[in-house]
Structure 1
Amino acid sequence: MTPQEAPQHSPFDALMATLMDLLALADSFLATFLRPWNFYQIGIAVAIFVFAHLLAGRLSPAIRDWLRSREGWPTWRLRIFIVLQRRVRTMIFVALIWLVVEVMKQTTWPSRSYLLAIIAELASAWLLIALATRLIGNPGARTLLRYTAWIWVTISILGLADETRDMLESVAISIGTSRLSMWLILQAIVLLIALVALARFLAGAGAASIRRNETISPSMQVLGVKFLQVCLYGAAFFLALKLVGVDLTGLAVLSGAIGVGLGFGLQKVVSNLVSGIIILLDKSIKPGDVISLGETFGWINALGARYVSITTRDGKEYLIPNEDLITGQVVNWSHSNDFVRLDIFFGTSYGDDPHLVRRIAIDAASGVSRVLTDRAPVCHVVGFGDSSVDYILRFWISDPTGGLTNIRGNVYLALWDAFRSNGISIPFPQREVRVVNETLPKIQT
Structure 2
Amino acid sequence: MSEGRSFMDFDALNAQAQGWIEQVMLWLQSPVFLAQLAAIGLAIILAPILAGLLRRLIPVLRTAPTPDANLFRARSIIYQTGQFLRAILLVAILALFATALRSISAFGEDWLVKIAQSLATVFLVYRAIRVFLADPFYRKVAVYILVPLALIIVLGYWDEFTSFLNATTVIPMGDNPITAMTLAKLAVFGSLFFWLGSVGNKRGQSAIRAQESLDSGVREILAKLFQIILFIVIAFLVINTAGIPTSGLVVVFSALSLGVGLGLQPIAANFVSGLIILLDRSVKVGDFVMLEGDVFGRIKSINMRSTTVATADGKDIIVPNTDFTENSYENWTHDSPLQRYEVDFGVSYDTDLDALVPIVRDAVLAHPDVLGDPDEPSVEFRNFGDSSINMCVEFWCRGIDDGPNKFTSDVGFIIWRTLKANNIEIPFPQRVNHQAPAPKK
TM-score normalised by length of structure 2: 0.73
CA RMSD of aligned residues (A): 4.4
Find the partner of 1:84 among 81, 86, 104.
81
In the alignment, is the contact (CA less than 8 A) between 1:135 and 1:201 conserved in 2?
no
Give the stretch that moved more between structures: 323-332 or 183-192. 183-192
Structure 2 equivalent of residue 43 of structure 1: 38
Structure 1 equivalent of residue 6 of structure 2: none
Distance 1:374 1:39 in 2: 95
1:278, distance to aligned residue in structure 2 (A): 0.7
Structure 2 equivalent of residue 243 of structure 1: 241
Check 1:389–1:76 CA distance in 2 against 1; reply closer, same or farther (3 A cut).
Answer: farther
Give the stretch that moved more between structures: 296-305 or 344-353. 344-353
1:415, distance to aligned residue in structure 2 (A): 1.4
1:417, distance to aligned residue in structure 2 (A): 2.0
Distance 2:97 2:255 in 1: 62
In the alignment, is the contact (CA less than 8 A) between 2:125 and 2:147 conserved in 1?
no
Alignment map for 1:22-421 (pairs within 5 Å): 36-37=31-32, 39-54=34-49, 56=51, 66-67=63-64, 70=66, 72-73=68-69, 76=73, 79-93=76-90, 111=108, 139-141=136-138, 143-145=140-142, 148-152=145-149, 155-156=152-153, 159-170=156-167, 172=169, 175=172, 177=174, 181-256=179-254, 258-259=256-257, 261-263=259-261, 265-294=263-292, 295-366=294-365, 368=367, 370-372=369-371, 377-383=376-382, 385-386=384-385, 388-400=388-400, 402-403=402-403, 406-421=406-421
Give secondary structure in 2 for the equivalent of 1:213.
Answer: coil
Check 1:164–1:316 CA distance in 2 against 1; reply closer, same or farther (3 A cut).
Answer: closer
Check 1:141–1:380 CA distance in 2 against 1; reply closer, same or farther (3 A cut).
Answer: closer
In the alignment, is the contact (CA less than 8 A) between 2:271 and 2:305 conserved in 1?
yes
TM-score normalised by length of structure 1: 0.72
Check 1:312–1:189 CA distance in 2 against 1; reply closer, same or farther (3 A cut).
Answer: closer
In the alignment, is the contact (CA less than 8 A) between 2:170 and 2:178 conserved in 1?
yes
In the alignment, is the contact (CA less than 8 A) between 1:370 and 1:399 conserved in 2?
no
Give secondary structure in 1 for the equivalent of 2:195.
Answer: helix
Structure 2 equivalent of residue 424 of structure 1: 424
Check 1:413–1:72 CA distance in 2 against 1; reply closer, same or farther (3 A cut).
Answer: same
Distance 1:53 1:325 in 2: 62
User: Match of 1:161, as an amino acid?
Assistant: W
Give secondary structure in 2 for the equivalent of 1:40.
Answer: helix
Q: Which runs of 5+ in 2 are unaligned?
A: 1-22
In the alignment, is the contact (CA less than 8 A) between 1:348 and 1:426 conserved in 2?
yes
Q: Give me the identity figure in percent.
A: 25
* 1:116-160 per-position Cα deviation (integer Å, ceiling 9, x unaligned): 688779867986897699887865455545664454455445544
Distance 2:304 2:118 in 1: 47
Check 1:223–1:139 CA distance in 2 against 1; reply closer, same or farther (3 A cut).
Answer: farther
User: Match of 1:73, as an amino acid?
Assistant: A
Give secondary structure in 2 for the equivalent of 1:342.
Answer: strand
Check 1:195–1:316 CA distance in 2 against 1; reply closer, same or farther (3 A cut).
Answer: closer
User: Match of 2:325, as an amino acid?
Assistant: I
In the alignment, is the contact (CA less than 8 A) between 1:366 and 1:376 conserved in 2?
no
Distance 1:133 1:227 in 2: 36
Give the stretch that moved more between structures: 351-360 or 339-348. 351-360
Check 1:313–1:47 CA distance in 2 against 1; reply closer, same or farther (3 A cut).
Answer: same
Structure 1 equivalent of residue 435 of structure 2: 435
* 1:371-413 per-position Cα deviation (integer Å, ceiling 9, x unaligned): 4578785133335625544433233333327449943223212
User: Match of 1:417, as an amino acid?
Assistant: R
Higher RCO (C-alpha 8 Å, min separation 6):
1
1:103, distance to aligned residue in structure 2 (A): 7.5
Distance 1:317 1:388 in 2: 42
Give the stretch that moved more between structures: 340-349 or 255-264. 255-264
User: Match of 1:273, as an amino acid?
Assistant: F
